[in-house]
Structure 1
């Protein structure tokens, strides 16, 4: 929101000698963010010029360039010596005879841009013909400024070449621009910014002059008829609770807007258009109340405010035809359909505009308009915001309405606009006044005067709190108990209306009293308790996987409904039961993931699409497993602590959220080079990754084959459990059909394990085994087993039979082929034995080995080769 200092000074007293930077700093001190400073930074000569002639050529890149001769008069005589100047210009939106804005050598434009005569496109250019953005009055750079189009023909009738453009356009005046947060909608006006500046100066008596405090006539029966009919209010709140209509007759709509008004509108970053539009824009900028002007003679009956009907259309002022939604609030002309009851569907009813967003093209004021109806209404912020977003239509009106407009000023705004129309366009104000006011005053809140001090931590005296509340515009009524007062917030502060606004009032008191008065105290840290066991476990898991060559990623936990089919999950699989979000970020992904792999596959696919062929990723995160029917979470009041019953309902509505680790890889596990060929990742790499995690946590796990667990390939899927049989997770190669559906490379491998299970299993004291200084004894064996016997079962049998002296068992070779019976394979193991108190003899080692082989023969039918 912008505010010229001269306009701001009309509503509040500026500090002596205050410049734009000082005013901006004062606004920052009360919580507003400085966006920019405009004007006041241009040094001349910046003059009016008239284009006498130009020669246009097309450059090699297709860009047109005009070599212009411009009359710049005598104002810049020290620079131009009264001669016409040759200026090179890249714009084409002007013709011979047009008045333009010319900056001559020696001038400085905003941003410290110094102008000099220079050679460009093969010719000397003595200055520059300016666009709006180059001199800081707008953002348009599509063409240069043509003064009759910017200010109107009437206002340039007496303008001649050489006149000072800085004075003409008000560029010597400074304009501040502040960033308005959503809770400060009242600051979308010069009135609101003036009030905030007044607060920053200590709220001196008489230092703020409210422009909305003007005398307004009482409503009567002779005003233009208006009907408020909202049959489908959003959340039970009517879309329009106040509508003021005033009529001005005999207006010369073709009359020019006064120069001072046009200059102020331009300083605010808007473009002057016509008298009626400029007046409504000026009042909106001054008071923050959007207005709309209608050509009264085009209206056939009462104005009806209602919701749209299915299939209705409207062509808005931007010449776009829009299909309306039943939630859209409309301003309509009932025509001969009476008061907009069942009538109006016979073809006579006209949609005039989207309430609070933009008017329609059918009833806009034109140069032939003589009778004007002024609309000043108060619309529900939620309704306006939804309509604005639904139609992707953001206007100056919608920006204000959706943040909250003061419901107490529509009458004053309409009166101000009517007076300005009569003053500058003639005519007279109709005595009829329509004011349908269904607004309600905010409820009073019982505020404990010591509460702001308790919340902020600064001792605010009782009188200081009362003074700040009254300066804010709140109505304060003292009670019998001096510790409390009844506070009714001002009409322009909807952010102070809630069930428990004490913290809001505390913030306001701290803000107005001065944030700089709040002392900075460095808190003394308490003695830390260190990381929890769960936090330590998660760090160990992440470190182990990173050390194994995997890269950690984070993905959104939202998945598509069809993902369960792509992963080939059985119909009765619990992973198909997902929580659906009521308001998802994307309609394509409305479900919460039930496994980490569900979202990790998207990350892998994205990396592959960007040319990464060898990828190894892992993600640690929560999954959402309902397990049973979820209840609907209640919405407890914030005024008090939820009851036990409400807490039970809240907890019951939250799905179980176990923590999992997903691991996925594709491409080469070992790169090729001069040392030899590379190696593709395989299912065993996933098993090794899980075993590395378990080893880092000192949690023994058992690896066994799992014949069928989607989305893994049958026969290439390992089931990982604790020694007591508790499931840890699965690892292996993903099913080819799942990979095809997911658009992933063949032979992609993955694993997913339960971190919570590992956390529980590792939460125990680990006794370090004594280290033996005696040498190890190694022996190798080769066992012939059926092909369907898992190697893990063979290893378990060997461990059982070998006894306590067995230190490790390693499978180092698998062979199938010549000299091996069909349906069988040879597994070669290296057994390491070590005793704690002596060197083992050969006979002892052979005995341990034979016992191990015997147990393998008994358990799995193994035969030593």
Structure 2
């Protein structure tokens, strides 16, 4: 919301020496957010000039320019007329115009433009006659500013328009405008009136409510008011889309009459483009008071207006000339209940637009349901100044005063006559009283507020406070629909008394709390993978069926396990992911496409794992706490979302250098990462060969717990998957169910006594069939080696003529250690032979000589 400081002064006693920066700081102190302070961007000599003569000179390029002599008084230092070339044709000799002389600087989208005398079209043009857009006053660039027309009827302003007079002050380019961000709960601040009220709260300056004076002049509803019927037969949340509709008629309006210059200036400063008198008046009232208005050409209307929900298949052409299909939830203004002539609270229809032939106008000021307007504006992607206000809540008592101001302005500047037709249909619900203990603000905020302070603050913001002792009954004002609970009132007390008065006190954490087991596991996993050189990434959990197909997965099976998003960010990614790898591949591809050769990434995140059909969650009014049954149904409808950890590696695991050649990352690197995770979590895992997509069938392993529970898979991505996703060849990775590991991780910490006796090692080479996995041979050696076997490590694999076709040699180093003695050679040999015997019995292993 842009608030011109001069306009603000009409509603609240802003000191004459107050600056825009200071005003913004005061507003911030009561909870508004400062966006910017705007000033006119014109510097240097900008003066009023009178066109003495102009000669039209056609050019070879087909353009006609005007060679003008302009009287700028003594502003040029000589008093002589200024020769200026101008390409506009909307002025004549004798007109008063705005001239920027050499040395002046104009704001442009490309940056400041310094004006100088230069030769053009055969003349030396000493300055520029300016349009609104060149001065930053608006977007009009069809012609230059003619002050005679701009200030027509305003004798005071015309008296200031003498050649050589400073046009910066005349056009308001020296004024400041404060821009604030209005939070959703403070919709009344979408008006100068609302911001003025907040400035009064912040500084104690006297606030003069313009509505109080207007209300005294509002005529009562007449028997012959324009007929309006409120016929909402499908209210949302039990609330009618329109509960009050006010209308006034003005007749004999001269639609060609210009808007007064002061109004055009204020609209421009507030960020709106002046259009015509009727439109400018409705915009001016909306910006000033906060009540959106709409003007209808009365001649285009039938006998009555009906406000109802749209019917299936209905369409409307809105003021932006767009043909729109209406939704049954849309609230529409209709002509006699048949033809939609406006989308309520959002935008009017083109068929009843005020045009150049309009003489009689019907002005509308209604009160609409915020939820209805918000949904409609978003459904049609049609945010408007009106919808921004209605969806935040407009004062239901404001409409009659707003219409009165609009009528008075049209009568004064448009030569209209106020009609006797005064309509006030329906009635808006009044705010509900809130009960609160006077000591509640002190207990909730932690600052001592006595009863008198609480009552004073609530009264200042417009509440009616009643009650004896500490039991208060508070009736919020109609412009504050956000005040519905005692906590809302406490926030107002803290805000008005000043957030700066609330001390910063660090809370004392209660004993016995800390990270949960799951949080500790996640941190340990992330720290370990980062320490191994992997970088953590995050990916949005949305995928499309094309990605599932590229991974070689069964699309129907995967979509059956997940949920489809009702309003996805991208229509190409409407599904929740079932695997972290489905989104992680984007991070790998992005990094490698930008020159990274050796990439190692990991992600810890949630996936969707639906088991059975998706349940529909019930909906409830957001203003009421749902029942336990509804909450249980909502929780039951949420699909399971286990937490996974995934890794992807490509490029070299060991880089090349002066020390020798590098080594490319392969499946064994991922297996080693999995085993390191399991060891850190004190979880025993079993890694066995497997063949599932998206992994290479010969380079894939299943990771399971000792009891057979599957944890996940690791391997090298299938060549077809790599090609389909544009990944580097031989990309490896894995994905594990972190929730399974968390449940299996031992929550206790057990210290193990450090061994003080020396180890004894013995190497064995076992020849087995090539199809026998090395992990199974490893397990057999462990089972046969006894309790003193500390470690079994595979250090060599050989396949060749010496072992025969279809056979291979696996060389293991067995480490033994006794906790209470030094082991003898005989002991070590006996235990080694027992381990080899177990391998021979289980897999036919033969010790290689």
Distance in 2, matches of 1:574 and 1:169, equals 65
Structure 1 residue 609, shift from structure 2 partner: 5.0
Structure 1 residue 794, shift from structure 2 partner: 0.8
Q: Is the contact between residue 101 and residue 165 of structure 1 (CA under 8 Å) also seen in structure 2?
A: yes
Q: Quote the residue 1:104 is aligned against.
A: 101
> For residues 669 and 285 of structure 1, do their structure 2 counterparts lie closer, same or farther at Cα, with a shift above 3 Å needed?
same
Structure 1 residue 375, shift from structure 2 partner: 1.3
Q: Quote the residue 1:732 is aligned against.
A: 715
416-425 vs 726-735, greater mean Cα deviation = 726-735
Structure 1 counterpart SS, 2:10: helix
Distance in 1, matches of 2:88 and 2:803, equals 90
Structure 1 counterpart SS, 2:383: coil
Q: Quote the residue 1:684 is aligned against.
A: 668
Deviations 1:284-337 (A, max 9, x none): 122111111122112233222233334433332223333333333222223xxx
Distance in 2, matches of 1:456 and 1:193, equals 25
Deviations 1:490-514 (A, max 9, x none): 11111113xxx11111111222223
Structure 1 residue 619, shift from structure 2 partner: 0.9
Q: Quote the residue 2:3 is aligned against.
A: 3
Query: Aligned ranges for residues 436-515 of structure 1 at < 5 Å?
Result: 436-478=425-467, 481-497=468-484, 501-515=485-499
Structure 1 residue 400, shift from structure 2 partner: 1.6
Answering whether residue 784 of structure 2 is matched by residue 801 of structure 1, we say yes
Query: Aligned ranges for residues 51-66 of structure 1 at < 5 Å?
Result: none
Q: Quote the residue 1:617 is aligned against.
A: 601
Distance in 1, matches of 2:41 and 2:590, equals 49
Q: Quote the residue 2:258 is aligned against.
A: 256
Q: Quote the residue 1:18 is aligned against.
A: 18
Give the alignment partner of residue 584 of structure 2, picking from 592, 600, 617: 600
Answering whether residue 57 of structure 2 is matched by residue 73 of structure 1, we say no
Measured on the aligned residues, the alpha-carbon RMSD in Å equals 4.1
Q: Is the contact between residue 764 and residue 847 of structure 2 (CA under 8 Å) also seen in structure 1?
A: no
Q: Quote the residue 2:646 is aligned against.
A: 662
Give the alignment partner of residue 721 of structure 1, picking from 691, 704, 707: 704
- Which blocks of at least 5 consecutive residues in structure 2 are unaligned? none
Query: Aligned ranges for residues 73-222 of structure 1 at < 5 Å?
Result: 73-79=71-77, 81-84=79-82, 101-105=98-102, 135-138=135-138, 140=139, 143=141, 146-148=144-146, 152=150, 154=152, 162-202=164-204, 210=212, 212-222=214-224
> For residues 106 and 234 of structure 1, do their structure 2 counterparts lie closer, same or farther at Cα, with a shift above 3 Å needed?
same
Give the alignment partner of residue 303 of structure 1, picking from 302, 305, 310: 305
Answering whether residue 344 of structure 2 is matched by residue 355 of structure 1, we say yes
Q: Quote the residue 1:554 is aligned against.
A: 538
Structure 2 counterpart SS, 1:774: coil
Distance in 2, matches of 1:95 and 1:419, equals 31
Structure 1 residue 565, shift from structure 2 partner: 5.6
Q: Is the contact between residue 102 and residue 127 of structure 1 (CA under 8 Å) also seen in structure 2?
A: yes
Q: Is the contact between residue 45 and residue 100 of structure 2 (CA under 8 Å) also seen in structure 1?
A: yes
Q: Quote the residue 1:32 is aligned against.
A: 32
> For residues 284 and 594 of structure 1, do their structure 2 counterparts lie closer, same or farther at Cα, with a shift above 3 Å needed?
same
Give the alignment partner of residue 433 of structure 1, picking from 422, 437, 460: 422
Structure 1 residue 443, shift from structure 2 partner: 1.4
627-636 vs 709-718, greater mean Cα deviation = 627-636
> For residues 546 and 55 of structure 1, do their structure 2 counterparts lie closer, same or farther at Cα, with a shift above 3 Å needed?
farther
Distance in 2, matches of 1:778 and 1:68, equals 105
Deviations 1:87-126 (A, max 9, x none): 8x9xx77778697643335657789x99866588999986
Structure 1 counterpart SS, 2:71: coil
Answering whether residue 365 of structure 2 is matched by residue 376 of structure 1, we say yes
Deviations 1:39-71 (A, max 9, x none): 478665211355957999999xxxx99999665
Distance in 2, matches of 1:519 and 1:721, equals 54
Q: Quote the residue 1:243 is aligned against.
A: 245
Structure 1 residue 605, shift from structure 2 partner: 4.1
Deviations 1:204-223 (A, max 9, x none): 58788745533222223312
> For residues 503 and 48 of structure 1, do their structure 2 counterparts lie closer, same or farther at Cα, with a shift above 3 Å needed?
same
Answering whether residue 526 of structure 2 is matched by residue 542 of structure 1, we say yes
Structure 1 counterpart SS, 2:21: helix
Distance in 1, matches of 2:137 and 2:427, equals 40
Distance in 2, matches of 1:40 and 1:817, equals 87
Deviations 1:816-861 (A, max 9, x none): 4545544433323333445566666655544443332222111111
Q: Is the contact between residue 734 and residue 747 of structure 1 (CA under 8 Å) also seen in structure 2?
A: yes
Structure 2 counterpart SS, 1:270: coil
> For residues 815 and 211 of structure 1, do their structure 2 counterparts lie closer, same or farther at Cα, with a shift above 3 Å needed?
farther
Structure 2 counterpart SS, 1:494: coil
Distance in 2, matches of 1:697 and 1:94, equals 82
Distance in 1, matches of 2:348 and 2:450, equals 50
Q: Quote the residue 2:813 is aligned against.
A: 830
Deviations 1:593-628 (A, max 9, x none): 444334323433444555545432111123344446
Distance in 2, matches of 1:120 and 1:4, equals 36
Structure 2 counterpart SS, 1:27: helix
> For residues 821 and 322 of structure 1, do their structure 2 counterparts lie closer, same or farther at Cα, with a shift above 3 Å needed?
same
Structure 1 residue 146, shift from structure 2 partner: 1.9
Deviations 1:719-766 (A, max 9, x none): 333445454432222345555665545543221223344444342333
Q: Quote the residue 1:861 is aligned against.
A: 844
Q: Quote the residue 1:814 is aligned against.
A: 797
844-853 vs 631-640, greater mean Cα deviation = 631-640
Distance in 2, matches of 1:733 and 1:20, equals 63
Structure 1 residue 436, shift from structure 2 partner: 0.8
Distance in 2, matches of 1:133 and 1:771, equals 85
Structure 2 counterpart SS, 1:798: helix
Structure 1 counterpart SS, 2:267: helix
Deviations 1:507-545 (A, max 9, x none): 112222233333444555667866555444333322322
Q: Quote the residue 1:423 is aligned against.
A: 412
244-253 vs 694-703, greater mean Cα deviation = 694-703
Structure 1 residue 249, shift from structure 2 partner: 1.6
Q: Is the contact between residue 758 and residue 822 of structure 2 (CA under 8 Å) also seen in structure 1?
A: yes
Q: Is the contact between residue 96 and residue 147 of structure 2 (CA under 8 Å) also seen in structure 1?
A: no
Structure 1 residue 567, shift from structure 2 partner: 4.8
Q: Quote the residue 1:337 is aligned against.
A: none
Q: Is the contact between residue 658 and residue 756 of structure 1 (CA under 8 Å) also seen in structure 2?
A: yes
Structure 1 residue 388, shift from structure 2 partner: 2.2
Structure 1 counterpart SS, 2:285: helix
Deviations 1:552-587 (A, max 9, x none): 111223344666665555799799523555655445
- Which blocks of at least 5 consecutive residues in structure 1 are unaligned? 335-339
Q: Quote the residue 1:766 is aligned against.
A: 750
Distance in 2, matches of 1:176 and 1:58, equals 48
Distance in 2, matches of 1:522 and 1:648, equals 36
Give the alignment partner of residue 285 of structure 1, picking from 278, 284, 287: 287
Structure 1 residue 793, shift from structure 2 partner: 1.0
Structure 1 counterpart SS, 2:792: strand
